[in-house]
Every structure is written in structure tokens, then in C-alpha cells.
Amino acid sequence: MIDAMNYWWEVDGIREDLTDPLTSSSEIVQDYLADSRVVKAFNHMGYHDLEDGAQRPGTRGRKAIAIAGDDPDGLATVARIVDAVGLDPVMAGPLAEGIRMEPGTGPFGASVGAEELRAMLLRFPGSGRGKSVRIARTW
């Protein structure tokens, strides 16, 4: 199951159960769909960029999509889907690392290439979401 969702308070209302810094939205989805293999992908890029940015593999400036998941087969399948729709897949780690592309992080809203996306994922601790997660998880 590809989780392309985000919690967005302007649309979804104030939901503290969906912003708990001790977990991530995709882990909540995985808990809810216990029999599914959840992979987070396609959440951080706007639909217009997804549609307009598609390019053949190896094209200079090809845009990238970050992928997070715990199941190796699921990750491989979703990576093939990302490539097939014209974008470079970037592995972000286990499903819990999907927090690195939630709203309040660098990748969220970004339409960039694989190298820049990897750098953004690494800068998560300095993002707004990263700081609130660090404070909550060190208490």
C-alpha cells in the first residue's frame, strides 16, 4: 500500500493524534492497516510537479521521489513505479524515516533531483519537524 498522505491541519483540522512526535503518520497508517505492507512515497511533491516533471531515466535534471518502508519487496516495487512514472526513486530508510518528508521538513513541497533530495533528508534534524521530534524524544 503506497501511503502518499500528509496530515495538513488547514484541511484536516487540528488532530493531535496525527502529529505525535513520538511516531510518524505512515506508522499510524501501518498500524491501522496491519495486514498491509505500507510504503511511503509521492507525498512530498505537488501533483502538478508529479505530472509535469516526468522524464526518461538518465535525463539531466530528472526529479526525485523519496521512499520509506520496512518491506524490501514493497520498496523495490514502489521504486519501479516511481521510475516508471518518470522520477528517480530515493531510498529514505525504514517506514519510521518517512517522518523526514512530512510537512515541516525540507523535502516537503520540494521538486528536486536525487542528490539534492538526499541532502534534504539528511538535514531533517534542523527542520521544524525535526526540532520538535528531537525535543519530544529526548524527554
Ligand X SMILES: NC(=O)c1ccc[n+]([C@@H]2O[C@H](COP(=O)([O-])OP(=O)(O)OC[C@H]3O[C@@H](n4cnc5c(N)ncnc54)[C@H](OP(=O)(O)O)[C@@H]3O)[C@@H](O)[C@H]2O)c1
Q: CA 77 → CA 8, 14, 60, 71, 127, distances in Å?
A: 27, 34, 24, 10, 29
Q: Match 521510475 to its residue by C-alpha cell.
A: 83
For the bound state, the minimum distance from the C-beta of residue 42 to ligand X, rounded and expressed in Å, comes to 6
For the bound state, the minimum distance from the C-beta of residue 10 to ligand X, rounded and expressed in Å, comes to 10
Residue of 16, 34, 47, 137 interacting with ligand X (CB under 6 A):
47
What's the CA gap between 104 and 12, in Å, rounded?
16
Instruction: CB nearer to ligand X: give 48 or 56.
Output: 48
Under the criterion CB under 6 A, does residue 43 sit at the interface with ligand X?
yes
Count the site residues for ligand X by CB under 6 A: 8
Is residue 26 a contact partner of residue 6, using CB atoms and an 8 Å limit?
no
- Contact characters 58-97, ligand X, x per CB under 6 A: ----------------------------------------
Instruction: CB nearer to ligand X: give 47 or 139.
Output: 47
Segment near ligand X (CB under 6 A), from 5-13, 54-62, 63-71, 109-117? 5-13
Phi and psi torsions of 53, nearest 5°: -85, -5
Is residue 117 a contact partner of residue 93, using CB atoms and an 8 Å limit?
no
